[in-house]
Chains A and B, each alone.
Chain A
Amino acid sequence: MAAVATLVLVLFMLPAVTVAASPSRVATAQPASDPSIAATVTWNGANILNYSSATSAARIGFNGVVDVHYDWHTPVGSAGVYTINDARLQIFYFGFALATRDVLDSNALPGTSGTFDMNWSTGALQYILEGSYKLIASLLAPNGTTMWSQTFWAYVEAPFYVGAVLPIVLILIVLWEVYNLATVGRQAGLGKRPPATSAGSGPAETPAAPSDATGSSTSESSPPASGGAT
């Protein structure tokens, strides 16, 4: 039981360890601090606003690659020009960024519009994890300021719906615990039975030997004493 609990904790910590080992940055995407730019991000051609909840998540298959297209511009009537040199996509699990992908434009110039293209996949994570994940698409200025961001959801599909490491291990743990629960009465019953049976047989034999030995020694010694007197 303790081993299973330890395994669950290890699995629970696995994504955090993955994050610590990877060079990806901690989540910094926030609501756009500057509302002066507007942007549209498409996920294989569909606007990510269509995937605004876990139940309407975009789907990505095993080894799937998604074309993420960023298109930003200043609103009509705005006279400002902006420099956007970084399009970022982050996937989150327990509040941590499991993976961060950036498309950088090292020669970005101030302007009123721009585009970025990103081919995104879950990479090695797909062998470990599946399920629904929150993603944040963001556009950053050269000084690191988040100029625009949008949250959406994606469902990472594994083969046969459970064909990644984590769900398989979780299912095995469930089966093991269900087996433990099914036999919990018998285990507890057997734990109580041995003291009752051993207490009846053990002490009954142990005192018998000394009493016999004592009885035989007295019976053997007394007849010669009485016989000798007669």
Chain B
Amino acid sequence: MSATGAGAAAGVVLGLVLVLLAQQLGFLGLSDLLPAIEYLVVGAVVGGILFALFGWAMGRRYLARHPPAA
């Protein structure tokens, strides 16, 4: 899996988990179904996009520092 894909996958999980965690810590209400699903979808999409970019940058950075042998 590429660094971008790995970052996106981790970002989706993080987006979902952080929404659930925000509710558990009292910052968010998930008692009604529709806004709860919206929060989860937005969290997954935003997390996936942000951390895909992060993973892409991390992959580039690592390969710049450790170039593969010719």
Contact = CB atoms under 8 A, between A and B. Distances in A.
Interface stretch (A34-42, A75-83, A191-199, A203-211): A191-199
Interface residues of B, number: 42
B49 interface: no
Contacts of A173: 13, 17
A188 B21 CA distance: 29
A192 B68 contact: yes
Interface string A1-28: 1001100100110000000000000000
A167 B21 contact: yes
B13 A4 contact: yes
A45 interface: no
A146 B68 CA distance: 71
A180 interface: yes
Contacts of B70: 196
Interface string B30-59: 111110100010000000000100110011
Given A131-B25, A189-B62, A189-B63, A94 B30 contact: yes
B59 to A, nearest CB: 4
Contacts of A95: 31-34, 36
Secondary structure dominating the interface of B: helix
B55 A164 contact: no
Interface residues of A, number: 46
A46 interface: no
A162 B25 CA distance: 7
A54 B25 CA distance: 12
Given A94-B33, A131-B24, A170-B17, 5 more contacts: A12-B40, A131-B23, A164-B24, A177-B14, A196-B70
